Structure 1
Amino acid sequence: MNSLTDVPSVRVGHVTLVRDDAESSESSEPSVRTGVTVVVPAPGSVFRDKPAAGLEVVNGFGKATGLSQIAELGVLETPLALTNTLGVGAAFEGLARHALDGHPEIGTSTGTVNPAVFECNDGWLNDIRGLHVRPHHIVEALAAASGGPVPEGAVGAGTGMVSFGWKAGIGSSSRLVDAGDGTRFTLGVLVLANFGLAEDLTVLGVPVGRTLTPQQAREQAEFARGAGSCVVLVATDAPADARQLRRIARRTTVGLARTGGIVQHGSGEYALAWSTTQRVPHSPSGPVRRATALAEDGPLLDLFFRAAADATEEAVLGALLAALPTTGVRGHHAPALPADDLVRLVDPVRLGRPGRSPHTP
C-alpha cells in the first residue's frame, strides 16, 4: 500500500474535526479545522511488551510529551498521538485513559505510564484557541485504527496543516529492505507535514517553489514565514535496537531536506523510529535480557538509511498532493498544490529534455 501500515500489525486511525460555529471559541469567525491521528505501533499490549524506539530531536521548538523517557529508556509504552499544539494536553489524557482502561496494574502494582504525543501548529486555518481536541477524540481514533491504506492530506491531525505555502497534512510511504539472504524487512513512514518556505519547495530535485508560489505567500508575511513543524514516524519489522533506530530516525532529515526543508528556528522537527519485533518486557523474567540487533559491519544499515530518507521525501510529497484546498479561521486559505503545473515543471528535467536544468525549473 506504500504506507506506514505495510509494516505488519501497525495501525493508524484518524478523527477529523471540521466545523463552523461559535462553540468553545473566543474568535469572532470561528472555524474548526483540526483533528487527531493515532498510530498503534505494534501488536498486543505495548505497555507490557514495549517496542524498542529511537528518537531524534532535529529542532526542539515543540510541545511534545513523553520524549525524555523515550530518549532515556529507548522504548514506547503507549500508542502515538498527533494533534495540534494546544491539543497536546487533551491527547495526553486520552492516551492515559486508554492505557488505564486496559491495564489495571498502572498506578497500583506498578508505575505510571508515558503517553507519547506530538504536535504541529495549525493556527493559520484552525481556531486553535478553542481547544476543540478533547480526550475522547483520541479514544475514538484508537477504536477506528486499522491496518488498511492510510488516508492522506487534510485528515486527522493534518486537517489544518500547511507546508511550503500549500495545503498539506498527513503523508505516508514505505520501502522494502533486502537483507541479502532471502530475508526482506519493511520500513514505513508517516509524516505530519506543516513546515517549509514556499520558495524552497523542491520535487525530485527540481526547485519548483521558485515558480509555483501561492498568492497568499506573496501577499501575507505571516503565511509566508513557513515555520510550523514536522513529525516523522518510522516503523520497521527489523530487529533493530534503540541506538540503531535513532540512527535510522536521524536519516529522515535527508528526506525533509530533499523537499526543501531547512529546519527553521520556529519549526519543531521530530523523528521517531521503532521496531515491531524488538520488544522489551515491562516485567523481565530475570536480571539479564537477551536481544538481537542488525549487523553494522556490512551494507544493511545503509539500506535502512536510504529507505528512511526516500520514504520520508515521498510521504511529504504525498501529503501535499493528497490535500484539498481549505479555508479556515479569519478567512485564511491554503490552496492545493497544482499537480498539473508541478508535472510540467518536473517532467522535462526528469526526462532529460534539452534546454532545461535541475537548477532552472
Structure 2
Amino acid sequence: MRARDLGIDVGSHRTGPLNAITDVPGVRVGYSTIGGSTEADASSANTGVTMIVPHDDIWTEPVFAGTHRLNGSGEMTGLEWIREAGELTSPIGLTNTHSLGVVRDALVAEQVERRGPGQYWCLPVVAETYDGLLNDINGHHVTRQHVSEALRVASTDAPAEGNVGGGTGMICHEFKGGSGTSSRVIDTAAGRFTVGVFVQANHGRRQRLSIEGVPVGTKIDADAVPVPELPRGYERGSGSIVVIVATDAPFLPHQCERIAQRAALGVGRMGGTGEQYSGDLMLAFSTGNRGIPPYQWDEDPQVERATVDVSMVAPQLMTSFFDLVVESTEEAILNCMIAASTLTGPTGVTAHAIDHELLKAAMSLE
C-alpha cells in the first residue's frame, strides 16, 4: 500500500513508471532484513541493511555527487571526499547507528573481492539512523553477510517499503516508519530526465506531521493512534532521516549539492524541523555524466585521459528540478509510513502503523 493507493497525490508533477528511485536508469536497490515482520514479533533484532547502487560499474567508475546537512546528529561516511572531489565512489549503504562501521568495512571487503588485491583505496558511503527503541541495537546483528545479500539481490524493480532493510526498526513522526521511495520526471529540450528519492525515515514529531498542507498529526493524535512510549530523557523527534536523491540529468557536483539541499525542504514540508538529536543528512548523485576516470588509474594520467568531457543542466532549469526533489522527498516519507507495519521492540516499545482509514478521513478523502 502506498500514498496513491489511498488517493493521496503529492504535488502536481508526473511520477516515473514505478514511482521509485529505480526509475532512474541503472539504479538498483537491495535489502537484507532482520526481523520486523509483525506486531506480535517482539524479536530482539529488528534491523537490516539497504544498498543503493548507482550503476553496475560504480566500484571503478565514480559519479558526481553532492551532500547537505539539515542537522548533524548522525553519520554518513565518505562525505569528505565527496565534498572535496564531488565524486561518489561506492554503492550507498543504509543501516542502524551501531552497525555503520560493520557495513562500511563490509563494502571495503566487497570491493577487494570484486577488483582483486591491489593498492587502491576505498571510502564507502554508509549512513545510519537510530533504531534502538525497536531493535537490540547493541547486539550487533548486522554482519558482512547481510551486506553481501543486499548487494546480491539489488534490483531495478520497485523496492519494497516500510519494515525492510535498514528501515526495519525505524519510527517516523511517531508512527512506524522505515524505507520509502518516489520519483518524478521532466521533459526538456534535451529529452526526459528522472529524479528519484529514497528515504530511511526515523524522525519527526506527531503534532508537526503535515501532508499537502493538512495537519494530519493533530487530526490523528495519540488518542487515535498511540505514540511510542519513550524512555526517560529521550527527546521526541529524535532519530534521524537519510535522503538519497538520484537522477540521470547531467548535474555537476555543485548542482548535486543544490539538489541535496532541496531534499531538506521536502522533510520540512512534512513537518520535520531538523530536531536537536536528529541526524538529517542528504546526498544526491547524478548518473548523467558517465566516463569519469577511476579514482586510481593503471595508466599514467599525464599521458592518458588528461581531460574529460562533461555536460550540465542549464541553470534556468534548476528550479524545475528543485520542485521534483521536494515532491519526491515528501511522497517517499509518506510512502514509508503507509507501507509500514506495527512493530514491538525487545523492551516492549511499540510503534504503531498509521491507520489508513483515519489518514483518508484526515485528508478528507472519504
Per-residue CA distance 1:153-178 (angstroms, 9 max, x = gap): 01111110001110010000000012
What is the TM-score normalised by the length of structure 1? 0.88
Give the aligned residue type for 2:128: E
2:45 alignment partner in structure 1: 32
> Is structure 2 residue 29 aligned with structure 1 residue 12?
yes
> Is structure 2 residue 349 aligned with structure 1 residue 316?
no
Conserved 8 A contact 2:36-2:343 = no
Residues in 2 aligned to 1:281 and 1:89: alpha-carbon distance in whole angstroms: 28
Task: Kindly report which structure 2 residues correspond to 1:274-293, keeping only aligned pairs within 5 A, or say none.
Answer: 274-279=285-290, 280-282=292-294, 283=297, 285-293=304-312
Conserved 8 A contact 1:218-1:224 = no
Residues in 2 aligned to 1:327 and 1:336: alpha-carbon distance in whole angstroms: 11
* Secondary structure of 2:256's aligned partner: helix
Give the aligned residue type for 1:14: Y
Conserved 8 A contact 1:19-1:31 = no
Residues in 2 aligned to 1:154 and 1:47: alpha-carbon distance in whole angstroms: 28
Per-residue CA distance 1:6-32 (angstroms, 9 max, x = gap): 001100000000189xxxxxxxx8611
> Which one of the candidate residues 99, 113, 118 is aligned to 1:87?
99
> Is structure 2 residue 273 aligned with structure 1 residue 256?
no
- Closer, same or farther in 2 for the Cα pair 1:224/1:344, shift >3 Å? farther
* Secondary structure of 2:46's aligned partner: strand
* Secondary structure of 1:205's aligned partner: coil
Give the aligned residue type for 2:314: A
Per-residue CA distance 1:92-127 (angstroms, 9 max, x = gap): 1111111111113642xxx31111100000001000
Alpha-carbon shift at residue 133 of structure 1 (Å): 0.6
Alpha-carbon shift at residue 58 of structure 1 (Å): 1.8
1:74 alignment partner in structure 2: 86
Which consecutive unaligned segments of at least 5 residues does structure 2 have?
Answer: 1-17
What is the TM-score normalised by the length of structure 2? 0.87
Conserved 8 A contact 1:217-1:224 = no
- Closer, same or farther in 2 for the Cα pair 1:281/1:328, shift >3 Å? same
Task: Kindly report which structure 2 residues correspond to 1:238-253, keeping only aligned pairs within 5 A, or say none.
Answer: 238-253=249-264
Alpha-carbon shift at residue 218 of structure 1 (Å): 8.0
Conserved 8 A contact 1:191-1:233 = yes
Task: Kindly report which structure 2 residues correspond to 1:110-189, keeping only aligned pairs within 5 A, or say none.
Answer: 111-179=120-188, 181=189, 183-189=191-197
Give the aligned residue type for 1:217: V
2:212 alignment partner in structure 1: 204
Conserved 8 A contact 2:204-2:237 = yes
Task: Kindly report which structure 2 residues correspond to 1:304-343, keeping only aligned pairs within 5 A, or say none.
Answer: 304-343=321-360
Conserved 8 A contact 1:174-1:311 = yes
Give the aligned residue type for 2:312: A
Per-residue CA distance 1:128-175 (angstroms, 9 max, x = gap): 010111112111110010000110001111110001110010000000
Alpha-carbon shift at residue 234 of structure 1 (Å): 0.6
- Closer, same or farther in 2 for the Cα pair 1:317/1:129, shift >3 Å? same
Residues in 1 aligned to 2:210 and 2:169: alpha-carbon distance in whole angstroms: 22
2:3 alignment partner in structure 1: none
Provide the aligned length of Structure 1 versus Structure 2: 334
Alpha-carbon shift at residue 254 of structure 1 (Å): 1.2
* Secondary structure of 1:228's aligned partner: coil
Residues in 1 aligned to 2:50 and 2:321: alpha-carbon distance in whole angstroms: 25
- Closer, same or farther in 2 for the Cα pair 1:19/1:197, shift >3 Å? closer
Give the aligned residue type for 2:47: T
Residues in 1 aligned to 2:48 and 2:228: alpha-carbon distance in whole angstroms: 28
Alpha-carbon shift at residue 340 of structure 1 (Å): 0.8
1:57 alignment partner in structure 2: 69
Conserved 8 A contact 1:161-1:194 = yes
Give the aligned residue type for 1:120: T
Give the aligned residue type for 1:69: W
Q: What is the percent sequence identity of the aligned residues? A: 40
1:358 alignment partner in structure 2: none
* Secondary structure of 1:188's aligned partner: strand
Residues in 2 aligned to 1:99 and 1:339: alpha-carbon distance in whole angstroms: 43
Per-residue CA distance 1:196-243 (angstroms, 9 max, x = gap): 011111111111111212364386466771210000001111111111
Give the aligned residue type for 1:171: G
Which consecutive unaligned segments of at least 5 residues does structure 1 have?
Answer: 21-28, 352-361
* Secondary structure of 1:12's aligned partner: strand
Per-residue CA distance 1:47-104 (angstroms, 9 max, x = gap): 3211111111221211221111111111111101000000001101111111111113
* Secondary structure of 2:276's aligned partner: coil
| Segments ≥4 residues shifted beyond 6 Å | none
* Secondary structure of 2:77's aligned partner: coil
- Closer, same or farther in 2 for the Cα pair 1:286/1:219, shift >3 Å? closer
Alpha-carbon shift at residue 310 of structure 1 (Å): 0.3
Give the aligned residue type for 1:335: H
> Is structure 2 residue 227 aligned with structure 1 residue 217?
yes
* Secondary structure of 1:129's aligned partner: helix
Alpha-carbon shift at residue 312 of structure 1 (Å): 0.1
Backbone CA RMSD of aligned residues: 1.9
